[in-house]
Structure 1
Amino acid sequence: MIENNQLQAYGWNQHWDDVLSRHFANASENLSPARVIAQFSHSYSLMTESGEHSAVVTGKFEFNAAKRGDYPAVGDWVLVAQLPNERRSVIHAVLPRRSAMVRKVAGQVLEDQIIGANLDYLFIVNALNLDFNLRKIERYLIAAWESGAKPIVLLTKADLVDDPANFASQVEQIAPGVPVHVVSAHRDQGKEALQAYMQPGNTIGVTGSSGVGKSTLLNWLAGEDLQHVQGIRESDARGRHTTTHRELFLLQGGALFMDTPGMRELQLWDADEGIQHAFSDIEALADHCRYRDCRHENAQGCAVLDAIEAGELDAKRLANYRKTSRELARLARKDQAGSAKSGQKSARAKPSKPRPRANQFADWDND
């Protein structure tokens, strides 16, 4: 195993040693591993064996990159050549990712964007103010489950409501198998429940809308001001994008915390497995429907509709499930049509079957 305290502090372990041996056994001796700790428009900050370096990709790397998702992302392990007598490196390759939170880029372009790579946990942050929205949390859970990281829901700003436990109960009903924690940095409440995730070497990503308190959460968990924070417009709970780029911070206890800019919208990507996990209660009910192709709309013998009638399932949850499934399937067809028109195989579809694609949150159903 590579013996370097700096790299090990940033998460290098036996798994990555094995990946390096398996995939890059013939790599030049001049190349060494480093972790991407910040990403800017055309450059990166890395933690290397000799400390923090700025970096760019090689011309060959850029030429061979077929899509945005091929480029390094924050959290990636990369192979670099360090420039002599300088605090700069050149990135030659990205090690295969263990996990990655991915979304579709904004607009009509069918292309992926890596929010964070090699995450152990993903904190889905929702504030207990006007931002609170169960439908939004469901969509973030889809992306989280698809990422390969373990989702955790954090309800921040618990000091703003009289009964935060009621909000936590609502989230638990739409997040089967996902831990839900209520926290307040203002009151220093709930930190002890997060310590189980904050172990040395663990990488924790955080995602959510602007103004939910992600940077405040970072500063609170770190015990120091690592990120500047601003207030929000109380009239609509909109944040001001305090964080402008993705960055990985090493906390004093040894955990790694990835802060990300707030999202005004999240478009899903490769989400068929994620939707099965996020709506596992509906998927389980559907197994008992009379017809295998039941649409859960009006068929007699539909176990899902029976559960709604019995008060065991929220009709809004089913509506969001159906809506998301339709939109993902529709965008998958657009992807296939675009690939057929260009005469190329879709780079975003797995060979076995077409993959559902994206969904925009412009018309969330508010509770």
Structure 2
Amino acid sequence: MTEGHQGLLQPANLKALGWRNFFDTQVIEIERADCTPARVIAVHRDALVVHDGNQELRLQLERQWSKTTSHERPTTGDWLLVDANRERISRMLSRESVIKRVSAGVDAGQKTQEQAIAANVDTIFVVTSANDEFSESRLERYLALAHNAGIQPVVVITKCDLIQSGESFRDRTLALTDVPFTLVNALDKTTFQDVYPWLVGGKTIAMMGSSGVGKSTLLNTLAGTHIQDIGDVREDDSRGRHTTTSRSIHLLDNGALMLDTPGIRELTFAFGQETLSEMFKDIEDLIPQCKFSDCVHESEPGCAITAAIGAGKLDRRRFKNYIKMLEEESEHTQTIDENHLEKRRYKNRKLEPGPRDSKKKKKRRI
């Protein structure tokens, strides 16, 4: 076990860590002789904890990774090829899926950019709780994140033992989405009957949600041992304090791989225009029915949106969340595109010949 990391149960082989044909076909013959595949199971500030199916290794991120953008660097869940001495990263394999957020400067002096927070995930448990923390707008954001990443979401509502009936939370979830969901007591395995079918050997499940919703408790109960510390929840707003401080993978007894993430209070994700169009199809089908093509959906006559809200066919909260997410996506896309353009210009400037290069000295004839 590496320092500062709760070790995995000993996997039998790479397949137990999630290795499959998608990754195997990326490895060329010479690499099979000189390199070993290893999966990133934890990320620290200056190093990675990886597992090669036999042992955990701590690898330093070398200087060349600092020249890449944040989402191009290895993150928890990535597969790497490690040299024969198991000391250096040869290269990172292409990802089957990746969960990204928008970060306003991951490192000091950096601009807004996309940051990969987990890779090669099969299922996302969107964890919320049956109290004031439950938020339809927040759930829509997590569902958009899963949709954009091409990952199956499952809504897990914890703390059902603290309420008389979960019907209201069940109804509120069904009003948003048709994805699978379940209500559980994170301390009681007998309430996990709808959770276990997703815990398949070799599959990676990422748990995402706000601080205090019970992600660490759920993980500890599933593992049958203490893996993550548990924090208190403030009574005034049902919010918790961060106890999970880094993203890490844990192997359960049945072979499933649980990827725990810190609570994310600012849900700033790169949703994707196509994702928003599919998730809010009901709204985008109404917009062309407005009388005016430049309708801003406030007080204009003939507005199909305000008419639907007035008739109770569209939730005003849902429409406002759609507009907010749409504006964020537009702003983030523009900012990230500008960053990419600036990076290309910088590279081009470095490639341009300098004054000395352009004025070659002529040899004097004797």
Which TM-score band (shorter chain)?
A: 0.7 to 0.9
Residue of structure 1 equivalent to 2:208: 207
CA distance in 1, matches of 2:159, 2:141: 21
The 3 A distance-change label for structure 1 pair 193 and 94 is same
Letter matched to residue 78 of structure 1:
L
Q: Which has the larger radius of gyration?
A: 2
**Kept in 1: contact 2:76–2:118 (CA 8 A):** yes
The alpha-carbon deviation at position 273 of structure 1 amounts to 3.0
Letter matched to residue 38 of structure 1:
A
Quick check: 277-286 or 177-186, which moved more?
A: 277-286
**Kept in 1: contact 2:44–2:246 (CA 8 A):** yes
**What secondary structure is seen at the aligned counterpart in 1 of 2:193?**
helix
Residue of structure 1 equivalent to 2:165: 163
**Kept in 1: contact 2:95–2:119 (CA 8 A):** yes
Gaps of at least 5 residues in structure 1 are: 347-367
The two structures have a TM-score, normalised by structure 2, of 0.81
CA distance in 1, matches of 2:36, 2:341: 40
Q: 2:147 aligns with which of 127, 145, 148?
A: 145
The two structures have a TM-score, normalised by structure 1, of 0.81
Residue 87 of structure 2 corresponds to residue 89 of structure 1: yes
Residue of structure 1 equivalent to 2:360: none
Letter matched to residue 255 of structure 2:
G
The alpha-carbon deviation at position 338 of structure 1 amounts to 5.2
The alpha-carbon deviation at position 307 of structure 1 amounts to 3.5
Residue 181 of structure 2 corresponds to residue 180 of structure 1: yes
Letter matched to residue 242 of structure 1:
T
CA distance in 2, matches of 1:271, 1:49: 36
Residue of structure 2 equivalent to 1:115: 117
The alpha-carbon deviation at position 122 of structure 1 amounts to 0.7
1:231-310 equivalent positions in 2, closer than 5 A: 231-269=232-270, 271-286=272-287, 296-297=297-298, 303-310=304-311
**What is the RMSD of the two structures over their aligned residues, measured on CA atoms?**
2.7
The 3 A distance-change label for structure 1 pair 292 and 30 is farther
**Kept in 2: contact 1:203–1:258 (CA 8 A):** yes
**What secondary structure is seen at the aligned counterpart in 2 of 1:138?**
helix
The 3 A distance-change label for structure 1 pair 299 and 217 is same
Residue of structure 1 equivalent to 2:195: 194
Residue of structure 2 equivalent to 1:30: 34
The 3 A distance-change label for structure 1 pair 304 and 239 is same
Q: Percent identity?
A: 36
CA distance in 1, matches of 2:203, 2:293: 41
- Between Structure 1 and Structure 2, how many residues are aligned? 333
The alpha-carbon deviation at position 285 of structure 1 amounts to 4.5
**Kept in 2: contact 1:125–1:154 (CA 8 A):** yes
**Kept in 2: contact 1:75–1:119 (CA 8 A):** yes
Residue of structure 1 equivalent to 2:46: 42
CA distance in 2, matches of 1:246, 1:66: 20
Residue of structure 2 equivalent to 1:227: 228
**Kept in 2: contact 1:145–1:273 (CA 8 A):** no
CA distance in 2, matches of 1:338, 1:77: 27
Residue of structure 1 equivalent to 2:77: 75
